Structure 1
Amino acid sequence: MKKVFAISLPFLLLIFACESNPKYVKLSGFTQGTTYTITYAESDELNYSHEIEAILEQVDKSMSLYRDSSVINLFNASQSSMEVDSLLAQVVSLSLQISAQTNGAFDITIGPLVREWGFHMKKGEVPSSARVEELLSYTGLDKIEINGNTLTKHNPYTTIDVNAIAQGYTVDLLAQFLESKGIANYLVEVGGEVRTLGENPRGKAWQIGVDKPVDNALSGENLQVILAVSGKSLVTSGNYRKFFIKDGIRYSHTIDPATGYPVNHALLSATVIDSTATRADALATAFMVMGVDSTISWLANNPSVEAYLIFSNTDGDYSVWMSEGLSSMVVEK
């Protein structure tokens, strides 16, 4: 659910179709303004499309900003507290946890700032410093709290936008459903957020290609690296495709919640591998706010998370940093 989603994804899913045993079922469609693909091994070739569509509809009713009657829109229109559904309550709770773990780099209240900078429109605009300060006064994770299913805002102007975590959360819901059916080999992808288990149809770990940070390239056209991923989730976030230039200054769509301004650092793309897509999704967004050095420091204290960072160097070229555990996942091209 990140923003108004582009169909071009941050990486290419390399799914190899061939005859094998067990047989694989592939489902695809549209959801949350983007596409989804689900591939799973099922000896009886059972089609779970109806159940999957029901899960997607449930998430949409809860968290879509483009559905007037969604729970999130009802909360945003409220003045203080309201009971929300269990899905939104869980996503908000996880968001608050990850915000605390990243020193506020992940923040679901900055939607008004993103809109003020024009990133929901075709043409970006540079707001006045006074306007940025005004919006900062009712953004920040200290402005909301969750207690059970009761969601409270401490400023009536505060709103939430869970697009930077909800696609990953949706992937996890779909993966949990497949596992409840005893499926041990699958790949679930929604808008580029991926979770895998077991093997692909060729009997190997699922292979996922990460794009080079090229402004106008199609997804999968210029691969930086191919990673073999099994039993993990992978999410890539980048700021090289969505930006605007005003008076010779390039403004990234990644807004720093602490300042209210677009980030200005060398990190172009952050790929995160973690146990859940929810967490990987939020962390990829947070890392794009934090930048290279702060991200590497954070990862040193959180060794269960793997990351692949692409950043610009002083020579005007790209450099790469990867965590130690991720190096074993690299597939030779």
Structure 2
Amino acid sequence: MSTTDTILADDGSVYRRLQGKAEGTSFHIIYQDEKGTDLQPDIIRLFDEFEQSLSVYIPHSLISRLNRNEPVEVDDFFHYVFTRAKEISKQTDGAFDISAEPLFRAWGFSSEEKNIPDENQIKHLKQFIGMDKVRLEGKLLVKDFPETILNVNAIAKGYSADLLAALLAQSGSPNYLVEIGGEIRVKGVNPGGEIWRIGVDHPSENRRIPGEKLQVILQITDRGIATSGNYRQFYMEDRRKITHTIDPATGYPTEHNLVSVTIIADDAITADAYATACMVGGIEKAVHWIDRNPTLEAVFICREADEYRTYFTSALEGKVEQA
């Protein structure tokens, strides 16, 4: 289900706005339409094809069949996402790991029941987790253990934003914003003729609606942007906060003062994966990984005592505005 309307820009050009539901979340797309072409059918078709490949919520999707160890060949969507996941896992010392799904299920984040696994259960599951235990041989996915399960939700939305950006660029659109569940790809200027302004949510646990209150506003264009945080997906157990940010190395939810990280990269797939990895690693490791990669910039929000403090990399000077 999606809706579309038009926006008259300050310079008289026409932008189209498309919004709806896909990939288990919401999407918003704004693009300058110079040719009078409604791209809604092409966009919805791309979403459908993408989900048939990479959605773990569709029982007959490619990734669901791979998780059931059916002998099927991977498609181009899966091949690219898996390859980038392998690369970014190595770059982040294993903090980004699409094979950690059994841990999320054990802690109750991929199932209805919330529970605390014991040490033996975590030890048992960890033997099936790690990007070194799964690989591609041609078009076949090979696992060292059939119990290994993949979930690409922490990288797929970013990739779909990149695919839609490519679709808009190929259509001749010089200016656009693609946002899918908070993962963003922008180019050019907005209908007001200004660089796109991207809000980063205030990381309060009491505000579950995205955009309800902002911490900072970024002025960014021609980049991919992704935010990850641990302030929305969590539950309480015996007065203990259990967050959905789980460290694949330990098998346990992370405990540090980094509550939100926004990554700016050349594409959204990289920003998406790095945002997740940085939330796993904490701010010291995150800064180290960002410093090693000159194509990345970041905004970190940390909880210090009873307040939230914002830090950002030097290249963002003048592009970060307090909300």
| Residue in 2 that maps onto 1:10 | none
Q: Paired residue for 1:162, among 148, 152, 163?
A: 152
C-alpha distance in 2, partners of 1:56/1:312? 36
| Residue in 1 that maps onto 2:213 | 222
Alignment of 1:101-116 (within 5 A): 101-116=91-106
Q: Paired residue for 2:226, among 221, 232, 235?
A: 235
| Residue in 1 that maps onto 2:122 | 132
Residues 332 and 263 of structure 1: is their aligned pair in 2 closer, same or farther, counting only changes over 3 Å?
Answer: closer
Identical columns (%):
40
| Residue in 2 that maps onto 1:295 | 286
Residues 275 and 317 of structure 1: is their aligned pair in 2 closer, same or farther, counting only changes over 3 Å?
Answer: same
Give CA deviations for 1:150-193 in whole Å, capped at 9, x if unaligned. Answer: 21111111110001000001000000111111211000111111
* 1:246 has 2:237 as partner: yes
Aligned residues of 1:17 and 1:201 also touching (Cα < 8 A): yes
Give CA deviations for 1:55-99 in whole Å, capped at 9, x if unaligned. Answer: 1011011011111111001111117x6421111111101100000
Give CA deviations for 1:91-125 in whole Å, capped at 9, x if unaligned. Answer: 10110000000000000011111011011345521
| Residue in 2 that maps onto 1:274 | 265
| Residue in 2 that maps onto 1:8 | none
| Residue in 2 that maps onto 1:310 | 301
Aligned partner letter, 1:251: I
Alignment of 1:1-333 (within 5 A): 18-78=9-69, 82-121=72-111, 124-217=114-207, 218-313=209-304, 315-331=305-321, 333=323
CA deviation after TM superposition for structure 1 residue 245, in Å? 1.6
TM-score (norm 1): 0.91
Residues 328 and 149 of structure 1: is their aligned pair in 2 closer, same or farther, counting only changes over 3 Å?
Answer: farther
Q: Equivalent residue of 2:95, what SS? A: coil
Give CA deviations for 1:203-223 in whole Å, capped at 9, x if unaligned. Answer: 001101111111121222221
C-alpha distance in 2, partners of 1:297/1:51? 40
Aligned residues of 2:184 and 2:225 also touching (Cα < 8 A): yes
Q: How many residues align?
A: 316
Q: Equivalent residue of 1:300, what SS? A: helix
CA deviation after TM superposition for structure 1 residue 43, in Å? 2.3
TM-score (norm 2): 0.94
Q: Which runs of 5+ in 2 are unaligned?
A: 1-6
CA deviation after TM superposition for structure 1 residue 332, in Å? 6.0
Aligned residues of 1:205 and 1:229 also touching (Cα < 8 A): yes
Q: Equivalent residue of 1:139, what SS? A: coil
